[in-house]
């Protein structure tokens, strides 16, 4: 009986040892749940636990580097330029306007942003007529005007007045060819009669011949 008791104790001890070894092996070789976050992808770490870490993944560097911002904005800038060009597109229409001298007229021609801008025709209430270029609702550039009394002017304009080189023809046929400033003869010019004969030539100032 003593021999059987010793054998049973031996088996019990052996079984306990095996059980302890199995438990130890289980805890040693089975991964802990706390280790999983450390092995997560760098992208997850970048967006959650370490957004300011300079050693973050390339995705994090791309988001935070200011040098990449102009590249992102370039398509929007291109769209803005296209929109501005579309706004400045010319159209043809009619407007009711007032000249710098206070005379009302009906305009028909090119319009940009709601203004007479480009080539057009103006018919004034007093019967005068203008055909030529406009800039921001004013006669500017080359144009031709015919007054209801028969006088006419053809040449350069600026701010609704004769300015630059042009020809003024009176209803009797006489004409002046030369330079104008604010609708008056200023600078070199020649005065002809209706037969084309030269009457005066020289330097003019404020509509008067100053020097022959």
User: In the chain, which residue ranges form alpha helices assigned H by DSSP?
Assistant: 2-29, 42-47, 58-64, 69-87
Of 148, 195, 205, which is closest to residue 175 (Cα–Cα)?
Answer: 195
Q: What is the predicted pLDDT for the residue at 21?
A: 78
What is the C-alpha separation between 167 and 123, in angstroms, rounded?
Answer: 21
pLDDT, tens digit (0-9, with 9 covering 90-100), for 111-131? 999 999 999 999 999 999 999
Which residues contact residue 120 at a Cβ distance below 8 angstroms, ignoring those fewer than 6 apart? 107, 108, 109, 110, 131, 132, 133, 134
d(CA 49, CA 153): 80
pTM of the model: 0.58
Q: What angle do CA 160, 165, 169 make, to 5 degrees?
A: 80
Residue that the structure tokens 């398509």 belong to: 75
Let me know if 151 is exposed, middle or buried by CB neighbors in 10 A (0-12, 13-18, 19+).
middle
Question: Domains, the chain, ranges and CATH?
Answer: 2-84 (no CATH), 93-211 (2.20.110.10)
Note the pLDDT tens digit of each residue in 23-71: 776 666 655 444 333 433 333 333 333 333 333 333 333 333 444 444 4
């Amino acid at each position: 009986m003593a021999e059987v008791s010793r054998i049973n104790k031996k088996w019990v001890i052996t079984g306990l040892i095996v059980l302890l070894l199995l438990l130890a092996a289980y805890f040693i070789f089975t991964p802990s749940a706390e280790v999983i976050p450390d092995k997560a992808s760098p992208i997850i770490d970048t967006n959650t636990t370490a957004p300011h870490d300079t050693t973050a993944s390339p995705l994090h560097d791309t988001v935070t580097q200011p040098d990449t911002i102009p590249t992102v904005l370039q398509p929007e800038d291109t769209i803005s330029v296209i929109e501005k060009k579309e706004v400045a597109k010319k159209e043809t229409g009619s407007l009711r306007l007032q000249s710098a001298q206070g005379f009302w007229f009906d305009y028909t021609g090119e319009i940009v942003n709601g203004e007479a801008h480009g080539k057009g025709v103006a018919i004034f209430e007093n019967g005068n007529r203008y055909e030529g270029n406009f800039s921001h609702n004013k006669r500017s550039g080359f144009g031709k005007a015919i007054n209801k009394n028969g006088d006419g002017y053809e040449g350069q304009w600026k701010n609704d007045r004769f300015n630059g080189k042009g020809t003024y023809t009176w209803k009797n046929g006489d004409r002046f060819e030369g330079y104008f400033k604010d609708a008056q003869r200023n600078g070199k010019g020649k005065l002809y009669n209706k037969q084309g004969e030269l009457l005066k030539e020289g330097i003019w100032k404020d509509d008067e011949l100053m020097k022959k």
